[in-house]
Amino acid sequence: MSQINVSERTLGVNFTPAGEAIIRVWAPKAQKVAVALPDNITLPLQAEEFGYWSAKTYQLEPGDTYQFILDDDKKLPDPASLSQPEGVHGPSQALATKDFAWTDTAWKNIPLEEYILYELHTGTFTPEGTFAALEEKLDYLIKLGVNAIEIMPVAQFPGSRNWGYDGVFPYAVQDSYGGAAGLQHLVDVCHQKGIAVILDVVYNHLGPEGNYLGEYGHYFTDKYNTPWGPALNFDDAWCDGVRQYFAENLLMWFRDFHIDAVRMDAVHAIKDFSPNHMLREMKQLVNQLMQETGRTHYMIVELDLNDTRFINPLEEQGYGMDAQWIDEFHHALRVTATGENTGYYADFSGIQHLAKTYQDAYVYDGQYSPHRNKTFGIKAENNPGEQFVVFSQNHDQVGNRMLGERTSTLTTYEMQKLLAAAVIVSPYLPMLWMGEEYSEPNPFLYFVSHTDPELAEAVRKGRKAEFAAFHAEGEAPDPVAEDTFNQSKLQWDLINQEPHQTMFKWYQTLLKLRKELPALRNLNRQNLEVETLEEHKTLVLRRWHENQQIVCFLNFSKGTQTVPVPKPAKVWTKVLDSSNPEWKGPMAAPETLEAGNTISLCPESFALYVNE
């Protein structure tokens, strides 16, 4: 295992308790390295082993800006900069992040199986688009019933408008959001209120503009390609410095920012054939950190490989990731609800596949995938329910549509209630996408604010080409226009209006039931049976825990369906029913059901019954 020190950051600028700055950079491509300090002072760095350079000085203080000078020529920002107050091309700013006055010593991370996730984008979540404005909304989220916020990436990107996946300074927190201190304050406040914080991190690529890493060292390799250009170098010559750079970054979020969990973007694009995969090494280091601090941290991955090696424990030679997103649940649910079948949706049959993902997590676990033209996936039999995160929409599934439509504008009000229920009653971790809880009609579009005109134009063209595959008609909104960003903001005034208020209460009620009913709260995938009535486009889901059983009826069809009431319980008592007029439905379902009888389900409806 690597020699990384989990207790402190070694890259960039760090300050000793006496106020001395320790400067260290990995620049194996340079013959000489110096640092440009305030007052026109230039300080040479000493060469160390393996391409590292370092210096110590009292002439750099927290708040000062600095740049590295490579080979007496180029003045560049620090690859491990903590702050870029003048943007991605400007100088770096030294910060003493360790000096933050935390008040969360009593905080204990929520057990993973209790996580109820809420994904949000800082820039569009509030009118102000800052961490401070986000803090003002935490009580609202508590009222809703979520206990973990998942923040889309905050690594410094060009301009002030970006989803976050074009970050080029993995250590620097976006200045327009509130910078490092703003994020630390947000996490501290979240912990005071009992909310866990998940940070989305990107370790598979860097954005194009302001990406100076290649000038310093062998950060990229031509051995592999990713959809975003050359792959990061995790297993080729000189990879040790790259591995250390990203491992220290992950440890920094957990240790110095008290982040509770990370969501790691598209880990299938982390190309690594080392005997100890980068993710596995990260997990080993995080385990070491947790032993030292007594705090708990989770690693959740976005993965489209249906490969349990990523989420299996280290002792079984897995990579030890705590959980993964399952897009296949979303795809099966989306196809069931809307009948869409273009692009990757072509692989999903609808209700049969939805039933399969309730049962098996993965839809493809060894079958032939027509979209991929190959047999795909492996069975996830021994992985507990809390290892899978499910959703009816997320930033990708909304924002990667040409017009960024949410399900609120693609489906009926009744179907939206049904989609929410389908996610929340699953034996997995539910995740909501900001605004869905009150049926936000605004789109979430793709937006950037690149300052390089050629790059901006390339993004526009690329965006158009992307939708050719989905046979989308019309024009893609201009990703560079500020209006595209503003259109994507949530409309908070809608929450007190109908029908948005009722939708919010519906979500609130579902989340409350998920916490209160043992049969829903316990994520034992074995205690589950699912039956599909394909011709009725209806699914009957039964879950149980000890002496409590629940049955959920999900009618995805546009017609009334009569379906048999399942045994073994003799009498089922209604707990919740989306077709009830109190939820703006057409007609309430019966209060009780007897096994062997039938129930008549309203179109696009959900009903939950319990038997103690």
- Is there a cis peptide before residue 568, judged by omega within 30 degrees of 0? yes
DSSP 85: T
For the annotated catalytic residues, the residue numbers are 265, 302
Give the whole-angstrom CA distance, residue 253 versus residue 183.
Answer: 10
Give the whole-angstrom CA distance, residue 495 versus residue 500.
Answer: 5
Q: Output the DSSP codes for 340-407.
A: --SGGGGG--SHHHHHHHHHHS-S-SSEEETTTTEEE----TT--GGGEEE-S--HHHHHTSTT---H
Q: What is the 3-state secondary structure (H, E, C) of 149-209?
A: EEECCCEECCCCCCCCCCCCEEEEECHHHCHHHHHHHHHHHHHHCCCEEEEEECCCCCCCC
Give the whole-angstrom CA distance, residue 212 versus residue 246.
Answer: 15
Q: What is the 3-state secondary structure (H, E, C) of 239-260?
A: HHHHHHHHHHHHHHHHHHCCCC
- In contact, 177 and 131? CB cutoff 8 Å: yes
Specify the amino acid at residue 491. Q
Strand pairing category for 52-57 and 21-26: antiparallel
First to last CA, the chain: 51
Q: Please, which residues bridge with residue 231 across strands?
A: 221
Give the whole-angstrom CA distance, residue 159 versus residue 156.
Answer: 9
Give the whole-angstrom CA distance, residue 92 versus residue 104.
Answer: 29
Give the whole-angstrom CA distance, residue 177 versus residue 156.
Answer: 10
- Find the DSSP H helices in 257-311: 278-293
The binding site comprises 263-268, 327-331, 395-400
The H or E element containing residue 2 is none
- In contact, 282 and 250? CB cutoff 8 Å: yes
Which residue do the tokens 């008549």 mark? Answer: 600
DSSP 416: H
CA 9 to chain centre: 25
Which residue do the tokens 């500020």 mark? Answer: 482
List the structure tokens of 169. 């300074």
- In contact, 329 and 426? CB cutoff 8 Å: yes
DSSP 536: G
List the structure tokens of 243. 């591995």
- In contact, 579 and 587? CB cutoff 8 Å: yes
CB neighbourhood size of 191 (10 A)? 21
The binding site for substrate comprises 263-268, 327-331, 395-400
Which residue do the tokens 């609808």 mark? Answer: 350
